[in-house]
Amino acid sequence: DSGVTQTPKHLITATGQRVTLRCSPRSGDLSVYWYQQSLDQGLQFLIQYYNGEERAKGNILERFSAQQFPDLHSELNLSSLELGDSALYFCASSVDRGGQETQYFGPGTRLLVL
Amino acid sequence: GQSLEQPSEVTAVEGAIVQINCTYQTSGFYGLSWYQQHDGGAPTFLSYNGLDGLEETGRFSSFLSRSDSYGYLLLQELQMKDSASYFCAVRDRGRRDDKIIFGKGTRLHILP
């Protein structure tokens, strides 16, 4: 158990819909990352927040958005869903030890778009 | 552009040693990490190299050569439970952006 929690574990929805994925980082971790993992694309970095502010951005679609709240939990919003958005979505939190950043991954949310 | 290359599959025998290579191309290299992922599970952190050289953590070691844009993960005394996918990842802090890039993963098969 990494200490990072994600809800829900599974999500089934239809094309065109909007969903929200939630992540709670490990106690004390200020950074939250979001990743998408699909069979053909591997693990894709979406976005990072640090203490409520956007820190780094990957290939996140405009239909996707995220935020980190004052209590440090984060939400990833996916809208106008397409079949290709079906994937495993991971959240990770990190601690920086003298320049070494160790990420701890949550169990993931499996999204199926029908 | 930015890219990481690692072999898609590697097969080794239980008790042996295996090396998984990773070459990268980035604009602003800031550390190479390795992660293990079992089927159906989440990635777990194994090792990090920010500077050239070897880092050892138990049966796992990782090496980095920044001049060659190359690193590897070395797994010793292989056990059946080491059968998993292994990903290298690079933090790329360029002038205009900051992102994390993962390789496509190396699936390690271990034979008894």
B37-90: per-residue pLDDT in tens? 999 899 999 999 999 999 998 999 999 999 999 999 999 999 999 999 999 999
Cβ contact (<8 Å) for B43 and A102? no
Buried b (16+ CB within 10 A) or exposed e, B36-62: bbeeeebbebbbbbbeeeebeeeebbb
Residue B81: φ, ψ to 5°: -70, -10
State how far the Cα of A36 lies from the Cα of A63, in Å rounded to an integer.
Answer: 14
Mean pLDDT, rounded, of chain A: 93
pLDDT category of residue B27 using cuts at 50, 70 and 90: confident
Structure tokens at A67: 């935020």
Considering chain B, what percentage of its residues have pLDDT values greater than 70? Answer: 97
Considering chain A, what percentage of its residues have pLDDT values greater than 90? Answer: 79
State how far the Cα of A59 lies from the Cα of A44, in Å rounded to an integer.
Answer: 8
Cβ contact (<8 Å) for A56 and B50? no
Assess contact for B44 and B62: CB atoms under 8 A: no
Chain B residues in contact with A90 (beta carbon < 8 A): 42-43
Mean pLDDT, rounded, of chain B: 93
Residue A97 in this model has a pLDDT that exceeds 70: no
The 10s digit of each residue's pLDDT in A36-83 is: 999 767 899 999 999 999 999 998 999 999 999 999 999 999 999 999
Position A1 scores a pLDDT of 85
Buried b (16+ CB within 10 A) or exposed e, A27-57: eebbbbbbbbbeeeebbbbbbbbbeeeeebe
- How close A42 comes to chain B (CA, Å)? 5
Best B2, B99, B101 residue to mutate vs chain A (most A CBs within 10 Å): B99
pLDDT category of residue B94 using cuts at 50, 70 and 90: confident
Q: Is B102 on the interface with A (CB under 8 A)?
A: yes
Residue pairs between chains A and B whose CB atoms are closer than 8 Å: 57
Chain B residues in contact with A43 (beta carbon < 8 A): 43, 87, 89, 102, 105
The partner residue sitting opposite A102, judged by closest CB among B41, B42, B48, is: B48
Chain A residues in contact with B88 (beta carbon < 8 A): none
Looking at residue A26, what DSSP letter applies? P
Residue A92 CA: distances (Å) to CA of A80, B43, B48, B52: 24, 9, 16, 26
Q: Is A90 on the interface with B (CB under 8 A)?
A: yes
Q: Is A3 on the interface with B (CB under 8 A)?
A: no
Assess contact for B96 and A54: CB atoms under 8 A: no
Answer with the residue of higher pLDDT: A113 or B94: A113
